[in-house]
Structure 1
Amino acid sequence: MPLTAHLRELRNRLAKAIGAILLTTIIAGLFYKQLISFVIAPLPGCDPTTVGAPESERCGIVSTSGLLSPFTLALKVSLTAGLIGASPVWLYQIWAFLAPGLHRNERKYTRSFMAAGIPLFLAGAAIAYAILPTTARVLISFTPEGATSILPIDDFLDLATRAVLVFGLAFELPLLLVMLNFAGVITARRMISWWRHMIIGITVFAAIATPSSDPLTMLALAGPVTALYFLACAVASLNDRRRAHKDTDALSPDEASTLSAPHESAGSY
């Protein structure tokens, strides 16, 4: 395919991806209030007049960025929801643009990795959302006695978005290792030999990347990622065994030599 055809194909793929993002963003904009309520739902006791709650746990949600803040907030939430909602479309467009340059087995592996990567990311995002109440409660607990925490809603949305992205991307690490193994870059034996360093690295990453420093949030990230790492080692080990068995079959001594055919034909002559 000439360069102009590649550029035309890229333009068409980008137009479809952007169109899908715009469509889902417009649809999300119609329900942005419900989306904001869903995001801030994990905040515990966010009412300065909460009866019976300790003062250190009382908080109020405010918008402090000026007159345009509600519109900017609605646009940010709608665009984020649009990117997430249209992710199957634009991910497919990226794959469809790259697929013609791949071999048949590479296309098969790419589809499999994409099919596994999306659920892994969503699982990490779901865990991040599930622990947001604990994260918010721990952070609010640092409020001095007699004071009320005033929480800018856009700050909490940024924190929630960062937590979802961190957890979602962290859950992609085992898939990356499996991809490198299938590509022949690393072996399962090498991956297993890294287990001490991987556990320490995952724990340190969880301590740094999580929004709060409470042990529950760190374990909620480090535990599943460590389990997925060992699962990736098991998958890589099975793949190495399959590859070794395939190579052994290719060099089997019981296989007839291609030189025997001319010899037999000469004898029969």
Structure 2
Amino acid sequence: MVSEPGAALSVNVNKIAVLRNSRGEGEPDVLRAARTCLSAGAQGITVHPRPDRRHITAEDVVALSALTNQFQVEFNVEGNPFAPPRAGYPGLLPLCEQVRPAQVTLVPDADGQLTSDHGFDFTADTSALAELIAGFKALGCRVSLFVDAGCVGLARAAQMGADRIELYTGPYAAQWAAGAPEQALAACQATITEATALGLAVNAGHDLSQDNLGPFLSALPAVREVSIGHALIGEALYEGLEITIQRYLAIIAQSVRAAA
């Protein structure tokens, strides 16, 4: 992925797959939607294949890997590395072994969880997680760990060999909607400062939207990448996917100017 000023925009296309799977047919086409996002200027594609195949499937991951290779942009595969394989889902590590994504984002979500809503607990036994991180890095993947802003024990992420963290931004989005995001932003900044000192780069994602992304990035210019799906796809229903991508890129560019 070409390095540009500001945070890179990686579009999560899970929701396209949700719509497709609701009919059990091929429309809307996840690959076509991802291609539209990349043609409009998005710097990457994110997916979170789940063992129950309720949206993105292993087959989608293979197809999207080929597409992102064609566009020479980043492919970010999210998932719970501890979820066991089952019919139609080989497990996160074997799937990444097949497609070798640029980045894998490890998330501690349970099988039946509606969406990712918390980060790793670094005060617990992390020996098994450390072994998995080593496995992903052996594939050539950059490894990012999903974390809560203000989490305890972040040094353990660096000790285990992680390259980045992804800040869970759900609390920020909720506080921003309530008109008082200062506490969440302060927690994010404290975690970014600690991560940077540990040699970890910082991504962010969850509930970010056109409304709250600009203030977030202007306050936290060290964020390297934002992964946005739910809000972006919802906004695109009204205004179109290409225009929506371009508006997000304009917000990111404006945040760079504001930070400068």
- For Structure 1 versus Structure 2, the TM-score category normalised by the shorter chain is under 0.3
Higher helix share: 1
- TM-score, length-scaled by structure 1: 0.23
- TM-score, length-scaled by structure 2: 0.23
Q: Compare CA radii of gyration and give the structure with the larger one.
A: 1
Higher strand share: 2
